[in-house]
Amino acid sequence: MSFLRTLTATALIAALPLSALAVGGDSPPTPTETTKKCKNGEIWDKKIKKCVKPDGMGANFDDDTLYIAARELAYDGQYDHAITVLYQAKNRNDPRILNYLGFANRKAGRVEVGMGYYRQAILIDPDYYLARSYMGQSLVEQGKIGAARVQLREIQNRGGRGTWAEEALYQALHGTADY
């Protein structure tokens, strides 16, 4: 990467709110009642307006709701709670579910388990560049810079230029951020 690209990327990142980098990707979630009010792995049920266990009596969450809650829990550092929520998904082969199982496990210190989930997500959807970004960030953490750069090129070649996924991995490769 050239000095000009690094300077341009740094200026872009500094000038834009993080949500602007989410186009076509995934940025850290905005906290909701799930992390503001709920405790011990409970998630906010909008219908009854209270915190409930995702697998509790009467809890009837669709996979999208579980995914969103798990992302929020994972970014809040509640990795095992996020995993518990993701295990409630009806479609455990959804690349989004697999990706966040990877993210939560990696962040909880179970790096190889996390890498396995990233690989599964990519096998199902080779163009799912968010899984490639998180996998690449894990590779950076492991000191496998060449392999991380391969994931960055895959993101770029598969339509992920200018996305949060590309920028997050680019930042990780340059030591300016990690997710």
Q: How many distinct structural domains can be found in the chain? A: 2
36 and 15 part of one domain: no
pLDDT band for position 179 (cuts 50, 70, 90): confident
Residue scoring higher pLDDT (145 or 12): 145
55 and 102 part of one domain: yes
Any domain includes 121: no
Nearest C-alpha neighbor of 87 from the set 73, 106, 101, 74 = 101
What does the pLDDT average to over 106-121? 98
166: domain range? 1-26+126-179
pLDDT band for position 19 (cuts 50, 70, 90): very low
- What is the Cα–Cα distance from 41 to 6, expressed in whole angstroms? 40
99 and 48 part of one domain: yes
Q: Give the helix/strand (H/E) hosting 170.
A: helix 164-173
Any domain includes 119: no
101 and 38 part of one domain: yes
Which region, left, alpha or beta, applies to residue 57 given φ > 0 means left and ψ of -120 to 50 means alpha?
beta
CB half-sphere exposure, 155, CA atoms < 13 A = 28
In percent, the amount of the chain with pLDDT more than 90 equals 68
| pTM for the full predicted model | 0.81
Predicted confidence at residue 5, as pLDDT, reads 41
Tally Cβ neighbours within 10 Å of residue 66.
23
Any domain includes 77: yes
63 and 6 part of one domain: no
Predicted confidence at residue 16, as pLDDT, reads 36
Q: What is the pLDDT of residues 28-78, one digit of tens each?
A: 788 888 989 989 889 998 888 999 988 765 567 899 999 999 999 999 999
Any domain includes 120: no
37 and 66 part of one domain: yes
Any domain includes 53: yes
pLDDT over threshold 50, residue 14: no
Domain boundary among 87, 114, 141: 114
Predicted confidence at residue 54, as pLDDT, reads 86
